Amino acid sequence: MQNSYLILGAGKMAEAIAYDVLKYANPGRVNLVDTNSANLRTLERKLGVDIVVADVSDSSGVFNLMKEFDVAISAVPYRFNANLSQAAIDSGTHFCDLGGNDSIVKRQFSLGNLAKDKGVKIMPGCGIAPGAVSVIAKYGIDMFEGDNGVMPGYVKIRVGGLPQNPKGVLGYANVFSVNGLINECKVKTDILKDGKRVRVPAMTGLEEQIFQGGFGKLEAAYTSGGSLTLTETYVGKIKNLDYKTLRYLGHWEKMALLRWMGLFSENPQNVLGKKLVPRELLEGILEDALPKDKGDVMLVRVLVGGEGAGELGFDMIDRYNGDTGHTAMQRTTGYSASIVAQMLVNGDISDFGTLTQEGSVPADKFLGEWKKRGLVLEEYRNIR
């Protein structure tokens, strides 16, 4: 049976999701929905998908659309995802999204019992981080436990979407969402420390990391959203677990300065007789100022270890693909969401309700699908 896919959004990630579904899912139908008719028409010509000009904030309209499809994939801003989850449950449509905000995810999990009763699968945060890194972490935890007979003492997740050739004072490029970038730098995040869940400020916990491939020293800091539900899943089981975002040296100091200046604030302020929202102003400036070069790279590292028991390491380096025109961010985020959506409708994910990546996604199958797409995870061991 050919399944039908509804993709909400018409940006870079929606394009990558649609491309992957068309290439690997043998779908019966693929529709893209957005208010941006120009973007939709471009993707219609490029990919051969059907398009619908509609507003995802229109609950009744979204319900009427979703009920015609087996699964819906959200590639729109995270603020819509809780209401979209409700619409998916009401319409009997499986649903996944790219995540990005812990409070929205909590609302989605509050719908879990209703989704289960309706036989619907809801999976938040299905990109790279949040998303695939939780699958990799579970894969490593299970491997460590199988080798040692005990749970690991720590899990460290380090991820960064970066320009291959950094330019400008931030050493960053517009590879994803500027709104999401600021949110990750503003909101506190949960880690596991000495067996307890601890809330820590974003852009703290600075450390250096080195990857092969000529990137030099990188710096990693706490940011929100990347580990999603891992701290809840493993509290009381793993002593230390944290997620940090990788950037080129000096980036975090400059972002902290912008926050200190009040430019992350969402409270309107009077400036020279005009009412301005600092965050909106900063987002607009960054949208224009950040380079838009496609030549990006995605760096992923997951370390799982324990005292006296050695360490398992999992690294991936993925770069912009000139054949498809897809950035590394599109490949790792969009393709991952597509894989999960396919698993939701083909039965590889068999649970119902609001689900976690680490609890319901079969890691071996997921990583096998990654490999088909040229997303290769390198495994290594440091035995102590």
Over its length of 384 residues, how does the chain's per-residue pLDDT go in tens digits?
799 999 999 999 999 999 999 999 999 999 999 999 999 999 999 999 999 999 999 999 999 999 999 999 999 999 999 999 999 999 999 999 999 888 999 999 999 999 999 999 999 999 999 999 999 999 999 999 999 899 999 999 999 999 999 988 999 998 877 888 898 899 899 999 999 999 999 999 999 999 988 888 999 999 999 999 999 999 999 999 999 999 999 999 999 999 999 999 999 999 888 899 999 999 999 999 998 878 999 999 999 999 888 999 999 999 999 999 999 999 999 999 999 999 999 999 999 999 999 999 999 999 999 999 999 999 999 754
Distance CA 280, CA 108 (A): 26
Please identify which residue in the block is written with the tokens 């990693």.
220
CA dihedral 76, 81, 83, 86 (to 10 degrees): 120
**Distance of alpha carbon 328 from alpha carbon 332, whole angstroms:** 6
Phi, psi (degrees; rounded to nearest 5) at 46: -70, -40
Q: What domains appear along the chain, each with residue ranges and CATH number?
A: 4-128+336-346 (3.40.50.720), 132-326+376-382 (3.30.360.10)
Cβ atoms 228, 134 nearer than 8 A: yes
Query: Count H helices, E strands: the chain?
Result: 15, 18
98: tokens are 């790219």
In which residue are the tokens 């000139």 written? 322
- Beta partners for residue 221, in sequence order: 245
CA 166 to the chain's CA centroid: 22
Q: Find the Cα–Cα–Cα–Cα dihedral 248, 254, 255, 257, rounded to 10°.
A: 160
Nearest to 311 by CA among 253, 380, 236, 232: 380
Residue 75, burial from CB neighbour count under 10 angstroms (0-12, 13-18, 19+): buried
Query: Which pLDDT score, from 0 to 100, does residue 177 have?
Result: 78
Q: What angle do CA 355, 359, 364 make, to 5 degrees?
A: 120
**Element holding 318 (H helix, E strand):** strand 310-319
The residues, ordered by sequence, that sit 6+ positions from 103 with a Cβ below 8 Å of its Cβ are: none
* N- to C-terminal Cα separation, the chain: 50
Nearest Cα to Cα of residue 238 among 173, 307, 297, 333: 307
Q: What is the pLDDT of residue 247?
A: 97
Cα-Cα-Cα-Cα torsion 123, 52, 288, 218, nearest 10 degrees, comes to 30
Give the residue from 94, 89, 90 showing the smallest Cα distance to 74: 94
Helix or strand (DSSP H, E) at 181 = helix 178-186
Q: Are 243 and 157 in contact (CB under 8 A)?
A: yes
Residue 228's Cβ-side half-sphere holds a number of Cα atoms within 13 Å equal to: 28
